[in-house]
Amino acid sequence: MSTIVDRFPTAGGATVEVAVRSGYFGRTDPTETYSVCSGCRDSDTVDWGWDPDCESGVQRHFDEGGKRSTPIALAWAKKHASRCRTAPTI
Ligand SMILES: [Zn+2]
């Protein structure tokens, strides 16, 4: 499951889509911010630091809600959108 956070039109007419989604099988709550360009298919993943092997259940380094990770992903998407000149493939 993923939720679209934002979309940026690229210089070439494609779209960079930024979404939060679960990066782990069996989990439904989001653990990463994922960006993908519909033109060149270039993508970027910012992991929120979920530790699947953490046995105590306490996630010390987990970026709850992607508060730090999503701005990093949005910056990547904006930068890519301003530079990518590939026409949409879909
Ligand atoms: Zn692109």
Mean pLDDT value across residues 15-20: 98
Tens digits of per-residue pLDDT, 18-54? 999 998 888 888 999 999 999 999 999 999 998 888 8
| C-alpha 53 to ligand 1 mean position (Å) | 34
| C-alpha 79 to ligand 1 mean position (Å) | 10
| C-alpha 30 to ligand 1 mean position (Å) | 24
State how far the Cα of 73 lies from the Cα of 46, in Å rounded to an integer.
6
90 Cβ neighbours under 8 A, 6+ residues apart? 38
State how far the Cα of 20 lies from the Cα of 79, in Å rounded to an integer.
18
- Nearest Cα neighbor of 74 from 25, 30, 34, 14 is 34
State how far the Cα of 81 lies from the Cα of 90, in Å rounded to an integer.
17
| C-alpha 49 to ligand 1 mean position (Å) | 26
| C-alpha 89 to ligand 1 mean position (Å) | 10
Mean pLDDT value across residues 56-72: 91
**The pLDDT value given to residue 90:** 56
Q: Which residue has the tokens 């999503």?
A: 70
Phi, psi of 57 (to 5 degrees): 90, -10
Mean pLDDT value across residues 51-58: 79
